[in-house]
């Protein structure tokens, strides 16, 4: 492969990776969140299809302290009321694809969790809040994203 063809392939792969990032709002992460991906969603509101599963991925690093565990806490806010999102493993350590628990402060962590969108959910607008909490109940990573259950 020539140098120019290699450069084009690398640039194309980079654009694909960037294109899959979801625009979210940070809600007090203590770590540096480098990327959040919600499958099928780049620009909110994310369309969550009933009867299907989505994948939520969070990449972060530089957590200021070591934590023995990470706890996933996910809520959907509908009309100002927080409703727990069922089906997400609370032990976020089970969903780490890079890194492990305990989390060292300098470690790169890639988290990937499957999320069921149940057929019984109503078609409604929701603000999803996703937190990965440390031992001290602080946000290692936290984001909110508007979504629409369809």
Rounded mean pLDDT of the chain?
88
Residue-wise pLDDT for 1-57, tens only, equals 544 443 333 333 333 344 479 999 999 999 999 999 999 999 999 999 999 999 999
List beta partners, residue 55.
114
Look at strands 46-48 and 139-149 and give their pairing. Answer: parallel
Per-domain residue ranges for the chain? 3-149
Angstrom distance (rounded) from CA 27 to CA 143? 5
Q: Tell me what percent of the residues of the chain surpass a pLDDT of 90.
A: 83
Mean pLDDT of 116-121: 93
Angstrom distance (rounded) from CA 81 to CA 2? 57
The count of other CB atoms within 10 Å of the CB of residue 47 is 14
**CATH tag for 3-149 (out of 3.90.470.10, 3.20.20.300, 3.40.190.10, 2.60.40.770):** 2.60.40.770
- Give the per-residue pLDDT at 29: 96
Residue-wise pLDDT for 91-100, tens only, equals 999 999 999 9
- Give the per-residue pLDDT at 3: 46
- pLDDT for 112 beyond 90: yes
CB-count exposure of residue 41 (10 Å: 0-12, 13-18, 19+): buried
């Amino acid at each position: 492969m020539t140098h120019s063809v290699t450069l084009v392939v690398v640039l194309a792969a980079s654009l694909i990776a960037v294109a899959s990032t979801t625009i979210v709002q940070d809600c007090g992460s203590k770590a540096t969140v480098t990327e959040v991906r919600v499958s099928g969603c780049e620009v909110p509101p994310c369309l969550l299809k009933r009867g299907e599963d989505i994948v939520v991925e969070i990449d972060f690093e530089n957590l200021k302290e070591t934590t023995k565990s990470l706890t996933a806490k996910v809520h959907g806010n509908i009309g100002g009321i927080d409703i727990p999102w069922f089906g997400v493993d609370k032990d976020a350590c089970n969903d780490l694809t890079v890194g492990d628990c305990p989390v060292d402060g300098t470690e790169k962590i890639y988290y990937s969790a499957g999320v069921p969108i149940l057929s019984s959910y109503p078609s409604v607008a929701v603000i999803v809040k996703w937190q990965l909490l440390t031992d001290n109940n602080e946000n290692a990573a936290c984001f909110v994203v508007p979504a629409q259950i369809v």
